[in-house]
Structure 1
Amino acid sequence: MSLNPLAGRKFLAAALPLLIVTLTFGPPSAVTAADADYDAVVANGVKYLASKQAADGSYSSQIGIGPTALATLALLEHGRGVSDPAVAKSLAYLEKAVRDDGGVYAANGRLKNYETCIALMCFNKANKDGKYDEIVKNAEKFVRGVQITDTDGIGEEDMNYGGSGYSGKTRPDLSNTAFLVDALVSSGAKEDDEAIQKALIFVSRCQNLESKYNTTKFAGKVNDGGFYYTPAVSGDQGDRGTPDGGLRSYGSMGYAGLKSMVYAGVDKNDPRVQAVLEYVKKNFDVSANPGMGQAGVFYYYQTFAKALDAFGEPTITDAAGVAHDWRKELIAELAKRQQADGSWANSNTQWMEGDANLATSFALLALADCQAK
């Protein structure tokens, strides 16, 4: 499902010899799990989602329009067309969430940026005949407008610069900023796009790597090359903090950082890229979200798959020298986790992943990126 398939190939070609040194990519190793029937896993997941749609076309509307946009995007990614009854009904539901400011979000407006970014990706995928041109144009303008930049009277030295939060100009974080980049790429934005380059400034400040790109007080505390949620914080960070005042890296943010750098065209020789690739090598895992366990594991799967698909390499050799066919291993893991009714759900309910519609949408999106290009 890579929204910019050329980006990964261009990114990979920049320094192929260097890859051999740093990650030792090679032929796939044997996977311990039996090969999964990809088509059956996907078909059962798609059937489940289509059966759980509410009469108004929504999915889990009690938590906003996000699940509806994600579910519809997942169905579109797996071959359901815009004329499919379930897809058409959900698109009509999302159209009703289009606001006067161009955003596409629930009436309470708590998640304006997050929901608009996902809806924009969904409408872009559905926009085969120009039907959604106006919605797409206005939603893209909205997403660009809520990014924290010079227009807010701040400069690049500000910790918030280039980022975006759940409602836009609120406390920015890497997850929402990565969704912003994804949304712009889905609209055709290239690596030199001004908003993407500004987002890269914020993304770089979310990396546990002390460099000229990150001079925050957190940069050198952990220094493992991974990524944390946000540097725009104060006070006790709870389970995201370290005893010495650093911020812990964790898997979903690591892949969000890698993906954002791919889309921003960062060269493979860049120390930021080398550092996160080393983090990936040391923390390769399809059984859990590294650093978070089962919390947010389905969001992790979606981010993991999308980042590695954009990156463009079919195998990764971990720190123990084991080569992993990441697509094959993720498909096997998701097949193992799939319920009898075709759904997925997380027993760890943090970030609402106990909701089967949300978890199933993330799983299907991850599976879409597991299709070899």
Structure 2
Amino acid sequence: MFFVPLIWSFVILFTFEAKLTATTPEAIKDSITKASLYLRTYGQEPDGSFSPQSGPAITALAAAALVRTGTSADSPMVLRAVEYLLTFQQSDGGIYQRESAVANYETSIAILALHECNTSGRYDEIIQKARRFLTAIQWDESEGNTYADPEYGGAGYGRHERPDLSNTAFLIDALKSVGASSDDPAIQRALIFVSRSQNLEGVYDILEVATKNPDGGFYYTPANGGESQAGTTPTGGLRSYGSMTYSGLRSMIYAGVSANDPRVVAAIKWLGRHYTFAENPGMGDAGLFYYFHTAAKALHVLGQDQFIDADGKAHDWRKDLAGVLLSTQHDNGSWVNNNSRWLEGDANLVTSYALLALSYCQASTIE
């Protein structure tokens, strides 16, 4: 299995000018306060948006992150962000930029934001319309797909866009946030796609690639013959990597897969072999803050305060992750990844990811 050499982990931390930081509840709260002030002072545009050049998604992430970490949904900053977000409502129920190639991504994140901000049910109707839009663009029989197709059950950036695990995980997150049960038909269809994105032979697998690197981790997509952002193995297998493996684990839990199911067991074993917050395992610093967020959410959903690695060592994952985040926060309250891949050079996006991750580090009871 290829991974970035250990020395690269130290390079990442030194690049972020890391320093030892106490991870007390007070320190986390102070970090959140500074980040919220940054977003209000430097991040938000007069029209309520955050990084509008990237469409509505970053505004939605920022709104969700702010409310999850204690900013009132009725605060002027959040209300203006939501008002801006709602200008992207389309006649089909989706919330996305017109002619967008990432309609599933934008609508899923918009649903997550509106759910967090939905005081007294004021956004109920908008959310339900957006939910129907998401299920309508899922790759299923209505799109001409059958169970035998590797795309089946997945979601891509938009209608007819190749499905991938990242978008499918956002779809599942959005549906669960608005009350969909584990046995919801759309979630169960998505589970088929999620399972096919795992390097593990199983009942859903229809691709030979699953047998070439059966390490239990997850990769980007089984569509079009399969693809991993981490590349391939010498034998032609698809390399597993951290952010997709946490996304796959969380999605399976949301879909009601039991803790002793071979898919969950294999995913946890892979994560135990590669437990770290110094990098996105298999990807180095690429997508690092996306990784922080998806790892925190998955570990929270897993319901374990201590994560046991492959050597049997127990880790207080909340303390470990909060320590990295607090140590890499800039003096102005923001975070930025020096690797700008997947827009992580954008301080608004990265600060939102960091706040979302910290929301799961604050307490084991937070939902």
What TM-score do you get using the length of structure 2 for normalisation? 0.90
Which region of structure 1 is more displaced relative to structure 2, 342-351 or 40-49?
40-49
Given candidates 28, 32, 37, the residue that maps to 1:38 is 28
One-letter code aligned to 1:199: A
One-letter code aligned to 2:36: V
Distance in 2, matches of 1:96 and 1:274, equals 43
Give structure 2 stretches of 5+ with no counterpart: 1-18
- 8 A contact 1:33–1:329 mirrored in 2: no
- 8 A contact 2:318–2:361 mirrored in 1: yes
What's 2:360 paired with? 369
- 8 A contact 2:289–2:354 mirrored in 1: yes
Q: Does residue 1:251 correspond to 2:238, yes or no?
A: no
Given candidates 79, 88, 98, the residue that maps to 1:88 is 79
Distance in 2, matches of 1:300 and 1:243, equals 26
Given candidates 222, 244, 269, the residue that maps to 1:231 is 222
Distance in 2, matches of 1:222 and 1:239, equals 13
Q: Does residue 1:50 correspond to 2:37, yes or no?
A: no
SS at match of 1:110: coil
Judged with a 3 Å threshold, the aligned counterparts in structure 2 of structure 1 residues 164 and 271 are, in CA distance, closer, same or farther, namely same
SS at match of 2:353: helix
What's 1:295 paired with? 286
User: 1:133 deviation in Å?
Assistant: 1.8
One-letter code aligned to 2:75: D
State how 1:216-365 maps to structure 2 within 5 Å.
Answer: 216-234=207-225, 239-365=230-356
One-letter code aligned to 1:49: L
Judged with a 3 Å threshold, the aligned counterparts in structure 2 of structure 1 residues 201 and 238 are, in CA distance, closer, same or farther, namely closer
By relative contact order (CA 8 Å, sep 6+), the higher-ranking structure is 1
- 8 A contact 1:162–1:198 mirrored in 2: yes
Q: Does residue 1:195 correspond to 2:182, yes or no?
A: no
What's 1:63 paired with? 54
What's 2:7 paired with? none
* Dislocated runs of 4+, deviation >4 Å: 234-239
Cα deviations by residue, 1:46-98 (Å, 9 ceiling, x for unpaired): 11111120011111111111110000000111122222011011010011010
Cα deviations by residue, 1:4-59 (Å, 9 ceiling, x for unpaired): xxxxxxxxxxxxxxxxxxxxxxxxxxxx9542211111111111111120011111
SS at match of 2:160: strand
- 8 A contact 1:208–1:223 mirrored in 2: yes
Judged with a 3 Å threshold, the aligned counterparts in structure 2 of structure 1 residues 118 and 235 are, in CA distance, closer, same or farther, namely closer
- 8 A contact 2:213–2:237 mirrored in 1: yes
Distance in 1, matches of 2:45 and 2:226, equals 42
User: 1:236 deviation in Å?
Assistant: 8.3
- 8 A contact 1:35–1:328 mirrored in 2: no
Which region of structure 1 is more displaced relative to structure 2, 147-156 or 135-144?
147-156
Distance in 2, matches of 1:87 and 1:211, equals 45
Q: CA RMSD in A?
A: 1.5
SS at match of 2:163: strand
Distance in 1, matches of 2:236 and 2:319, equals 38
Judged with a 3 Å threshold, the aligned counterparts in structure 2 of structure 1 residues 319 and 194 are, in CA distance, closer, same or farther, namely same
State how 1:126-141 maps to structure 2 within 5 Å.
Answer: 126-141=117-132
What's 1:16 paired with? none
- 8 A contact 2:21–2:326 mirrored in 1: no
Distance in 2, matches of 1:164 and 1:197, equals 13
Judged with a 3 Å threshold, the aligned counterparts in structure 2 of structure 1 residues 236 and 55 are, in CA distance, closer, same or farther, namely closer
One-letter code aligned to 2:56: I
Judged with a 3 Å threshold, the aligned counterparts in structure 2 of structure 1 residues 239 and 185 are, in CA distance, closer, same or farther, namely closer
Cα deviations by residue, 1:193-222 (Å, 9 ceiling, x for unpaired): 110000000000000001222231211111
Cα deviations by residue, 1:299-355 (Å, 9 ceiling, x for unpaired): 000000000101100111212332110000100000011000000000001001000
Distance in 2, matches of 1:333 and 1:238, equals 24
What's 2:96 paired with? 105
One-letter code aligned to 1:334: L
SS at match of 1:172: coil
Judged with a 3 Å threshold, the aligned counterparts in structure 2 of structure 1 residues 228 and 235 are, in CA distance, closer, same or farther, namely closer
- 8 A contact 2:197–2:220 mirrored in 1: yes
Aligned length: 342
One-letter code aligned to 1:153: G
SS at match of 2:192: helix
- 8 A contact 1:159–1:202 mirrored in 2: yes
Give structure 1 stretches of 5+ with no counterpart: 1-31
Judged with a 3 Å threshold, the aligned counterparts in structure 2 of structure 1 residues 213 and 109 are, in CA distance, closer, same or farther, namely same
User: 1:365 deviation in Å?
Assistant: 0.4
Distance in 2, matches of 1:228 and 1:236, equals 7
User: 1:108 deviation in Å?
Assistant: 3.2
One-letter code aligned to 2:236: G
- 8 A contact 1:117–1:143 mirrored in 2: yes
Distance in 2, matches of 1:66 and 1:352, equals 12
Cα deviations by residue, 1:146-203 (Å, 9 ceiling, x for unpaired): 1011222221111000000011431000000000000000110111111000000000
